[in-house]
A and B are shown apart, each in its own frame.
Chain A
Amino acid sequence: MARDAIVIGSGPAGAVTAWELARQGWSVTVLERGRNLRPGFGEKPSGELGTLYGSDEIKGARHFGFPDPLLNPNTSRTQADAADGVARTASGNVGQLGAAVGGTSLHYNAKFPRFWKQDFHMLSELGPVNDAQVADWPFSYDDLAPYYDEIEYQVGVQGDIEQMPVATLAQAPRSRQFVMPPGPTGYAARLLAEGAHRVGYTAYPYPAAVNSQPFDGRPACVACGLCSGFGCPINARGDALVSFLNPAALTGRVRVIERAFVYRIETRADGRHATAVRYKDTAGRDHSLSASKIFVAGSPVNTARLLLLSANTAHPHGLGNGSDQLGRNMMFHNFTLGAALFERDIHPLRAQSTTLEIDDLVGPFKGAEIRALGLPYLKGGIIQVGSGAPLLTEANLLAGFTGYGLIHKQLMKLGPVHRLVAGSQLVGEDLPQADNRVDLDPDVKDLHGLPAARITYSPHLHERVAAIVLGARIEAFSLLAPGAIAAAIIPYPIISTAVPATAHLAGTARMGTDPAASVCDGSGRLHEVDNVYVADASTFPTFPGFNPTLTIMANALRIARGVAGGTA
């Protein structure tokens, strides 16, 4: 067998896959729908790369590094809309992640917690939940732990094992100290941490793929605060590109083709073996590539769309969809937002975004009040502590509040969102549901005339209850922050049953041992096609409430090593 592969998507999953395959001598072609934004990519060491990014909010507002909502729209609707026969209620960047060489990790928040042991055995340990497809993962935390460790050391993760809660280390044991110590704790985060301490919670330095000291030829972070949603101007963040894809490209065995819009994987007539990957360039010209192995890593919405677009006679409902699970179990983290308001300027933006983490609301919670609502248990997630929002974001939010005129300008002078607030976010777990799914929109197209992905989604009762029950606790500790004059929460799953805007996506091609109930096996391989693997978060059977990039990378490394090492 030729040791060559095509990897579709160059984000965290695709980059790690390419890196591992190249490390083992494979020849790899990576197809990426976005463009390269790091001058010198593939030619210079990662520490010497340039960047087209800057601390520039307008670029973000203009979709820089993202798909354009006019050219690559996703559409969405709620489960209730679908039941009423409504085709869609929104079209645009809903459910979209970044589009650039290196994927969304170019402008991510770089928070790197591990999932917990209990997350891999949710069905067998906690049991089923009505109207949800809770499932075990086909492997355990202990199986993934060595990959976590390897990724953390390759990317460069800051943190301090000595400050982590006992419960966290029991659920996510670590074999050694972090690569580097934590950076400075933001003042806003520290105020909230004191409030949290007053209710018995523990805030500790948030593991982050951000340099607190020079690492891998790249400098230490200087806490500019324009982090999440921005590319790092000084190259202080570890990510898919600098930590994996660029080193892989420098081996000479990895080729990255930008603006390659993959729309079809072709198979032999019997459907058991993929023969080619077809893509279009921006102008619509067709291209075809072949390799012995194909890795799909487009992120959950795009991975599902591609496999659905690849339907053929042998796979009438989408490639590898004999289980009818392809596209289903679409999961989004449901953020419940909290904030404390202060009378003084607390500079929430002077920090590497949220510098502290609280794990006290991860759960599971099993009290009588939860069972009374018809739920056997409740799982929340980690809390990211100490955020603010930059000026243009604030101006837009306040515009929706006041409309135009002098009153808007006056509020901007107060700066409630960029200087008077300390924000926190519960990264809420989302249960998998069969009816939360990606399919092909019957009408809306992309620039090439191909069907857009349509997302049908509504939060489960579990998420709604979690937002209320756990949100109240965030409000309580926020109010106890020293000097806070008020606190509030926004429990999104209560406010809206629509798709939340979040960069945390999972599901649509779940892995499992039963071909009748899952799309991929534990190796990431489609049950029904012998050389197509899914390497991204599409494979996650459940979606515990932790920032997912570390687990996406660790799982991709596990999958790629399995293939390259001949065990899959």
Chain B
Amino acid sequence: MPHEQGPESGSVNAPARLTRRALLQRGGLLAFAAFSPLGCGDSAQPNITVPIGGDARFLDADELAALRALVNRFIPGPPEDSAPGAAEAGCAEAIDALLGAFAVDPPRIYAGGPYSDRGGAATNDFEHFIPLDDYEALAWRLRIEGSQGRPEREFNGPVRGLQTIYREGLAALDAQASTYGSDRFADLPTVTAELLLRTTRDAAVQALIDVAFPQTIELMYGAPEYGGNRDLVAWQYTGFDGDVQPRGYTDEQVEHPENPGLSEWLPRLPVAIPLEQLIALTPLASYEGAQTILQNSNGSLSRLTTGIAQVLAARRTTHGP
């Protein structure tokens, strides 16, 4: 029964529950960190364990190091934040496993179903990836490898694959690092890496960021079987229950959930985020509501930004600036 025993619980998947006090303390630390990026020291290179996905690899060691440093800028971990970031959570290796998905059989594209072992099932079906049929294999080879001049892949012209976008983008990152006195992006101090990313006009780097941040998000906030969200770190710091089947929730939990007091969140809202704008986005909170933006973006950060900007502009139209 209930995987929730009291009002302090954050995530049903959390091996050690965080107390509310700890949560608030962490939040306070976070807010401080956000406003003091200069005090954060060098980019930490996290310990890397054996990547999930076995032989599903595409990048070489230097490329992977650059990618690790990149995802660490996307979702930073310690010391900038107390919670693990994308690098610690395995997102770089998970992206590499996607780029090399077809090196293993079945390719690690779709985790199995119906259950992981987090919601009461005895075994973890998610760990057994689903064999692709010919249609899915063609689609994912096209997406990952690109069309490579093959006629059967170029019915709408050439397609640039993710492998190319990553390889060229990561090489460009290292090349740009030389402007800052380093051969490797991975060796740049945090602030320098941040400066490079925020100011570069390099097309290969921008194309990389455009797909790599959405993919980092996917692997960080999705199921850990894909290689990111290691030890469920992202589900813990967001208080997300994750997949709860087959146990689900009791009627009592649905109708009368305990309401952990997050009432202190308003003062902790980062000053860079106007509350009014955040409010304007909240109606997107449903599958139906989010679909227009997510479908139009199709994995592109710039198109996500365009979609959100449209919503914010409409808010100004209906409610004034």
Contacts and interface: CB of A to CB of B under 8 A. Distances in A.
A384 B73 CA distance: 39
Nearest to A397: B284
A421 B285 contact: yes
A52 B245 contact: no
Main secondary structure of the interface of B (DSSP, over half): helix
Nearest to B305: A400
B191 to A, nearest CB: 12
A501 B248 contact: no
A59 B222 CA distance: 9
B209 to A, nearest CB: 7
Contact of A423 (B234, B247, B289): B289
Contact of A495 (B240, B305, B311): B311
A352 to B, nearest CB: 8
Contacts of A73: 156
Interface in A290-347: 335, 337-339, 341, 343-347
Interface stretch (A138-146, A270-278, A482-490, A527-535): A482-490
Interface string B204-242: 000001000110011111110010000000110111111
Interface string B177-194: 000000000000000001
B291 interface: yes
A186 B248 CA distance: 13
Interface in A170-228: 183-187, 190, 221-226, 228
A122 interface: no
A415 B240 contact: yes
A407 B273 contact: yes
Interface string A62-75: 11100011110100
A77 interface: no
B46 interface: no
Interface in B140-175: 142-143, 152, 155-156, 159
Contacts of B259: 344-347
Contact of A339 (B135, B221, B238, B282): B282
Contacts, number: 382
B114 A388 contact: no
Main secondary structure of the interface of A (DSSP, over half): loop
Interface residues of A, number: 122
A421 to B, nearest CB: 4
A492 B301 contact: no
A188 to B, nearest CB: 9
A404 B209 CA distance: 9
Contacts of B305: 399-400, 403
A237 interface: no
Contact of B34 (A339, A347, A410, A415): A410
Residue with the highest number of chain A CB atoms closer than 10 Å, among B269, B273, B284: B284
A247 interface: no
B270 A411 contact: yes
Residue with the highest number of chain A CB atoms closer than 10 Å, among B74, B218, B287: B287
Contacts of B45: none
Contact of B311 (A52, A183, A228, A490): A490
Contacts of A366: none
A83 interface: no
Give the size category of B's interface with A: 35 or more
A224 B280 contact: no
A164 interface: no
A50 B130 CA distance: 13
B113 A339 contact: no
Interface in A112-126: none
A228 B310 contact: no
Given A54-B113, A396-B214, A486-B279, A406 B37 contact: yes
B254 A351 contact: yes
17 contacts: A52-B110, A63-B139, A185-B254, A186-B255, A223-B251, A225-B244, A234-B248, A339-B283, A387-B285, A389-B289, A391-B234, A401-B308, A407-B272, A409-B83, A420-B265, A420-B282, A495-B313
Interface of B: 26-27, 30-31, 33-34, 37, 73-76, 80-81, 83, 85, 109-116, 119, 125-126, 130, 133-136, 138-139, 142-143, 152, 155-156, 159, 194, 209, 213-214, 217-223, 226, 234-235, 237-249, 251, 253-257, 259-263, 265-266, 268-270, 272-273, 275, 277-299, 301, 304-311, 313-315, 317-318
Interface of A: 35, 50-59, 61-64, 68-71, 73, 90, 92-94, 109, 183-187, 190, 221-226, 228-229, 231, 233-234, 259, 282-284, 335, 337-339, 341, 343-351, 353-354, 384, 387-421, 423, 425, 444-449, 468, 485-492, 494-496, 500-503
